[in-house]
Amino acid sequence: MKLLAIFFLICITGSVYSQNGTVSGVVSDEFGELSGAKVELIGTKQSTYCDINGEFKFDVSPGLYTIKVSYLMYRSAELGVKVDFNNLNPELKIILVPGSRADEDIVLGSRFAPKSQLESPVALEIITNSEITSNAHLCLSEVLMYLVPSFNSNRQTIADGTDHISPSTIRGLGSDQFLVLIDGKRRHASSLVNVNGTIGRGSVSTDLNAIPLAAIDHIEIMRDGAGAQYGSDAMAGVINIILKDQTTSFSLLTAYQPTIVGDGDELYIGVNYGVGSSSTGHINFSTEIRRRESINRSGQYTGTVYTENSTIDEGLVEQNGFFQQTGFSDMQTMEIGGASTFDGAVFLNGSFEMGEKAQFYFNGGFNYRQGIAHAFYRFPKDEEKVVLALHPNGFSPEIRTDIQDKAITVGLRGTNQGWLIDLGNTFGDNRFDYSLRNSNNASMGIASPTDFYAGGFTYGQNTSSLNFSRTLGSVLGLHRVDLAFGSEFRVENYTIVAGDEESWVDGGDTTASGSACVAGSQGFIGFQPSNELDKRRTNAAVYGDIDWHIVKNLLLETAVRYEKYSDFGSNLSWKIASRYKIAEKWSIRGAIGTSFRAPSLQQIYFNNISTQFIDGEAYQVGTFNNESAAANQFGIERLKAETSTNMSLGFTGKPNERLTFSLDGYFMRIMDRIVLSGRFSDGYEELLNPINVGAAQFFTNAANTQTVGFDITSSYNIVLRKGIIRLSLKYNHSETQMIDSVNVSGVLTGSAETFFNREEVSRLEAAQPRDKAIFFMDYSMKKWGFSIRNTYFGSVEYIHPDDGNTDNWVLNKYTGKVESRDQTFSGKLITDLNISYSIDKNIKISIGGSNVFNVYPDQHQHSANRSEGSIKYSRRVQQFGVRGAAFYIRMRMNL
C-alpha cells in the first residue's frame, strides 16, 4: 500500500511539472502602453511584438527566463522571471524610460551580433515602422526621400518607362550604385534602363515601390561602400528592408490624399496579418493597393498647331475648337508632372522551426503596376507624324506600361558546434511591357491602328548563398574574435521582346509633298525582331569577414570578397573599418576599402530606336549595344566594371540618455563610370543614314568622378509632465566632380563634347541637391500626437549641352536678350504636418499634409527651355517634384 501511494505521488508530481506555462505582460511608458515594442526571451528563439494594447505572451516550459524589451527612442530593459508550480503564468508590467535612437541594434554591415549606431565603425541609420506609417508619403521611395537626407528619388515626366519607375540615389551617385537587400538577401533590379534625359540616365534602378509598405517592419541603411561585404553595386551604400514577422496580429492602414489643384489624388489600403507562434513557426501576410492619379503642371501652349503661318493658324485653332478637344484644360497640350499608376501587391514572410537547432525560412511577393503617361503632342502641322484621316486635330499619345515584379526566398539556418549556418536561395524577376493608345504609325497611312503593343523586356536573377559565422571567443590574447565566410552563386537573364509589327514597320506612306512618313507607333516605337535577344551570365563569389575585438573599447573589422563573372572578368574588393570608444558613449570611427559595380546586362545589351525631343525638335535616336556593328563603327569599347575607393572618418556621441549625434565625412573615387553617351547626329550622316536614325547613343565607360561630403545626425528627447517631445536634425552635403578627361574612343577623338557633353557632366555633378537637411519634431501625449517635418532641398543646375559656346546662345523671348539656356534652380523648404488622435486602443485617425505651403521649384527662365510654353518646370533636373500641396486623412487599426 505504501509503494502504491509513492507511485501515485510521483505521477501527480510529474504531471504538474510537465505542464507548460505562459509569460505575459504589458509594456508601457509613464503615459501609456507601447504598441510594437519588441520582447525577447534571451537564450531562446522566441521573440514577439506588443499588440495595440502593449501586451505580449509566450508559451514556455517551467524554468528561469530573462525577458528583454526594446523600443525605438527608449532604453532597453531586461528582467528575470521564474515559471514553476507556484506560478505557471506570471504576468509582468514593464515600464520603459526614454532613451535614444542610437541605442537601436542594426543587423546590416555585420554577419555577427547586431551593433547599435554608436557601436558601428561605419555610418548606419534605422527607419522605424512608426516613421514609415506616420509619414505623409505612401510609397517607399518617397518615404525614404523625406526621412534620409542622403537619399533622393523623384517621379520623372516625359521620359517613357522612367515615368513609371522612379530612379533613386544615395549621396548623389547613380541609381545603380547602391544595393537593396530584403532581410539580408539581394533584391533584383528592374529590367528598365533609363535612356531619356533624367536623373539616372544610362543606369538601372531597383524598383523600391514594388515592395509594399504594409510588409515592412523597419529599414536599415549603411552609408558606406560595402562591395567587400555584399558584392557588386554596393558602392554608395546598402539598404536592408526588414520584413514584419509579428504573429497573432492584424493591422490596417487606409489613406486618401488629394492635392489642392484637384489632380494627383492618392488612395492607399494596406493590410498585414500574422498567424502562428514565434516558438514553432509563423506566417506573416501583407497586401497593398495604391492608386495615384496623374499630375499635370504644364503651361499654356503658345506655338502653332495646323500651319507655321501664325495668322492662318490662329483662325484654324478657333474654327476647329482645337484646345477644347485635346483632352487637357487651360490651353494645355501635354501632361507634365507625373504618370497615373495603380499598384497591387502581396507579400509573405515566415519561418518554421525544425527541431532545436534549425529553422526553415521563406519570404516573397508579387507586385503588379499599371501606368499611363503622355508623350509630346503630335500636331496636325507635323504631317509626317500624323495620319490626318485618323487624327485631324493631332493627338497626345498615351504610353501604357504593365510591370510585374515577383520574388521568392527560401532557406535553412541553424547552429552546429557553435557555427551559425545559413543556406538560402533568392529568385527575382521583373517584366516590363509597353503599349500605346491614341497613336498612329504615320507610314501606314489610313491603315494604321491607333492602339499598339510595343514589346518589352525582362530581367531575372537567381542567387544561391551559403554562409558560416561564429564567435571564436578570446584568441591570440584578443578580447574576442568573430569569423564569417561563405560563397554565393548568381545567374542573371535579360530578354527583349518585339512588339506588334504595326508598332515598328515602315509602311512606305508619304506626305502630300512626297516626303517619307515616320515609321513606328508615335510616342514609343515598338521593339523590332532585330532588337530581340535572350542573354544570361553567371557570377561566383567567395568572401570572408573577421571582427577583431582587440580590447573592449577597440574594434577592427576586415572583409575581403572575390567575384568572377562569366562575361567580363573578376574583381577583388577589400575593406578595413575600425571603431574606438574614447569613453563609454563616445567613439571615433573610420573605414577604407574598395568596391565595384559590374556592367548590368541591361547596359550591355539594351538596344532600340526611340523618339526623343531635344530643344523641342523630335529625333529618331538609336541606342546601340556593345555588340552592334554601329558601336564598332564608332569605336565604342566593350564595357568593363566600375571600381571605387571609399574612405570615411566619423565621430559619435551620447552625452546623456536624451541626446545623441554623429558626424561622418566621406571620400569616394569612382573610375570608369558607365554612362549613356551624348547623341551623335550632325556630321555623322555617313554612319547614321544606313541604319535609318537621326542620332546614335551608346553605353560606355566615359567618366571618372570624385565625391566628397559629410553627414550629420542628431536627436534629442524632452520629457514633459504631460508628454514627450522628440527632436531630430539630419543634414547631408555631397559634391561630385569629374576628374581627368572624358574616356573617348579613338575613332571619336576630337568629339569629346558630343561623346559626353556638358549636360551629361552636369547630370553627375549638379542635377541633384548638394545639400539636404531634415528637421523633425514630434510631440505626443496620451491620445494626441503632433508632428512637423521641414525638408530643405538645395539648389540644382540645368546645363545646356551646346551653350558652353556663346555663339550657340539663343533669344530669350522673356527678356528680349540672347542668353545662355543654363539655369540654377534655387533651394526650397518643404513642410509636412501631421495630427493624430487615438479613438481607442485599436484605432488611430490622422490628418495632415505634405508640402502644406504649396512650394514649387523655380520655373524655367529662358523661353527656349519651355517648348512653346508647355514646360514650365524642368523635366531634366528635379529637387522634389511638382505635385504641390496635398492633404490627407488616414486611419490605422490594430487588432
- Give mean pLDDT, residues 67-77: 76
Q: With 80 as the cut, is the pLDDT of residue 362 above it?
A: yes
How does strand 38-41 pair with strand 47-49?
Answer: antiparallel
Give CA–CA dist 10/87, Å, rounded: 20
Q: How sure is the predictor about 52, in pLDDT bands with cuts at 50, 70 and 90?
A: low
CA atoms within a 13 Å half-sphere pointing along the CA-CB vector of 189: 26
> Given this model, what pLDDT does residue 73 score?
61
Q: With 80 as the cut, is the pLDDT of residue 589 above it?
A: yes
Q: Across the chain, what does the average pLDDT equal?
A: 90
> Given this model, what pLDDT does residue 72 score?
65
Scanning the structure block, which residue is given the C-alpha cell 502630300?
Answer: 512
> Given this model, what pLDDT does residue 279 score?
66
Q: Which residues contact 355 (CB under 8 A, 6 or more apart)?
A: none
Q: Which of 838, 841, 852, 849 is nearest to 891 (CA)?
A: 838
Helix, strand, or coil (residue 847): strand
Q: How sure is the predictor about 356, in pLDDT bands with cuts at 50, 70 and 90?
A: confident
- How do residues 874-891 score in pLDDT, each as one tens digit? 999 999 999 999 999 999
What cell does 39 get?
Answer: 520582447
Give CA–CA dist 799/864, Å, rounded: 13
Start-end of H helices in 18-126: none
Predicted TM-score (pTM) of the model is: 0.89
- Give mean pLDDT, residues 357-370: 95
Domain map (residue ranges) of the chain: 20-97, 103-298+334-894
Q: Rounded to a whole number, what is the distance in angstroms from the first to the last CA of the chain? A: 56
- Do the domains spanning 20-97 and 103-298+334-894 agree at the CATH topology level? no
What cell does 317 get?
Answer: 485653332
Q: Which segment of 110-119, 603-612, 648-657, 699-708 scores lowest on mean pLDDT? A: 110-119
Give CA–CA dist 880/851, Å, rounded: 10
Of residues 708 and 695, more confidence is placed in 708
Question: Quick one: three-class SS letters along 578-643?
Answer: EEEEEECCEEEEEEEEEEEECCCHHHHHCCEEEEEEECCEEEEEEEECCCCHHHHHCCCCCCCCEE
CATH 2.60.40.1120 fits 20-97, yes or no: yes
- Give mean pLDDT, residues 788-793: 98
- How do residues 538-556 score in pLDDT, each as one tens digit? 999 999 999 998 998 999 9
- What DSSP designation does 518 have? P
Q: What is the CATH number of domain 103-298+334-894?
A: 2.40.170.20
> Given this model, what pLDDT does residue 888 score?
96
> Given this model, what pLDDT does residue 615 score?
60
Residue 68's identity, in one-letter code, is: K
Q: With 60 as the cut, is the pLDDT of residue 4 above it?
A: no
- How do residues 428-437 score in pLDDT, each as one tens digit? 999 999 999 9
Contact 603, 202 (CB under 8 A): yes
Q: How sure is the predictor about 719, in pLDDT bands with cuts at 50, 70 and 90?
A: confident
Q: With 50 as the cut, is the pLDDT of residue 10 above it?
A: no
How does strand 91-95 pair with strand 21-29?
Answer: parallel
Of residues 74 and 503, more confidence is placed in 503
CA angle 122, 123, 128 (to 5 degrees): 130
Of residues 74 and 525, more confidence is placed in 525
* pLDDT > 90 fraction of the chain, expressed in percent and rounded: 68
- Judged on CB neighbours under 10 Å (0-12, 13-18, 19+), 350 is buried
> Given this model, what pLDDT does residue 113 score?
61
> Given this model, what pLDDT does residue 15 score?
44
Of residues 610 and 564, more confidence is placed in 564
- How do residues 399-429 score in pLDDT, each as one tens digit? 999 999 999 999 999 999 889 999 999 999 9
Q: Which segment of 48-57, 799-808, 852-861 scores lowest on mean pLDDT? A: 48-57
- How do residues 468-480 score in pLDDT, each as one tens digit? 999 888 888 788 8
- How do residues 163-207 score in pLDDT, each as one tens digit? 999 999 999 999 999 999 999 999 999 999 998 889 999 999 999
| Burial track 776-799 (b if 16+ CB lie within 10 A, e otherwise) | bbbbbeeeebbbbbebbbbbbbbb
Give CA–CA dist 126/103, Å, rounded: 11
Q: With 80 as the cut, is the pLDDT of residue 376 above it?
A: yes
> Given this model, what pLDDT does residue 47 score?
74
Q: At residue 160, what are phi and psi to the nearest 5 degrees?
A: 55, -125
What cell does 588 get?
Answer: 571615433
- Give mean pLDDT, residues 310-324: 95
> Given this model, what pLDDT does residue 98 score?
61
